[in-house]
Amino acid sequence: MKKIKFLVFAILTFIGCDQNSTNIQKTKIPTNGFFASSDHQVMMGSDATVEIFKKIDKAWADRDYETLKSYIHDKPWMHFANGDIANSPQEFVDLIEKEYQDFQASNSNWGWKTNFAYSVKQTKSENPEYKNQEGEWVNARFTSEDATYEEWYYIVDGKIQTWQQAKRLKAKRMPLKK
């Protein structure tokens, strides 16, 4: 009888362990979305990349251009909402400083409120030729007195490789009809 109980216990233990390992294998990282040109999907990125973004945002707000340049890849592609493009850290900070001086000359307030930032990344592609797999994208929104900005930062190894900015002017309120 002891042998039968032991055998039943062993079988139940084996089945229980086997079901757990099957469940673990079925667990997937949540993804969604698609890219028309690849087999990638989108998943959440890391908090570490968002922390890098916060340092970039602070350096920009403080006009600490040496720190800001240290977070930019040597050969970036950086596209401002007005169409300007920077291809080096120095070009980027020169354009920021020009924007700052333009604000000062027009007696406008230069600055913004960072509304949110989050990081996403692509799933790995089966195609080894496909680029853009090693970093994470940070999406951030900012509001200023006159506009809302949407920015995407592609960060690889702690540095911005690609940055894109879109600007939406604040809407004028339409009068309510009585």
Give a yes or no: residue 133 inside a domain: yes
Lowest-pLDDT range, 21-30, 105-114, 127-136? 21-30
- Give the C-alpha separation, 16 to 20, whole Å: 6
Domain span at residue 104 reads: 42-169
Query: In the predicted model, is pLDDT for residue 92 greater than 60?
Result: yes
Instruction: Indicate which CATH number applies to the domain containing 125.
Output: 3.10.450.50
Give a yes or no: residue 33 inside a domain: no
Give a yes or no: residue 17 inside a domain: no
pLDDT category, 178, cuts 50, 70, 90? low
Give a yes or no: residue 137 inside a domain: yes
Give a yes or no: residue 85 inside a domain: yes
> Per the structure, how many domains does the chain have?
1
- Give the C-alpha separation, 50 to 28, whole Å: 23
Give a yes or no: residue 140 inside a domain: yes
pLDDT > 90: what percent of the chain?
57
Query: In the predicted model, is pLDDT for residue 25 greater than 80?
Result: no
What does the pLDDT read at residue 57? 98
- 107 sits in the region (left: phi over 0; alpha: psi -120 to 50; else beta) called left
Q: Are the C-beta atoms of residues 112 and 96 closer than 8 Å to each other?
A: no
Lowest-pLDDT range, 16-20, 30-34, 87-91, 138-142? 16-20
Query: In the predicted model, is pLDDT for residue 43 greater than 90?
Result: no
Q: Write the DSSP assignment of 76-99 as a string of letters.
A: EEEE-TTS-EE-SHHHHHHHHHHH
pLDDT category, 121, cuts 50, 70, 90? confident
Give a yes or no: residue 26 inside a domain: no
What does the pLDDT read at residue 80? 97
pLDDT category, 125, cuts 50, 70, 90? confident
What does the pLDDT read at residue 162? 96
Give a yes or no: residue 28 inside a domain: no
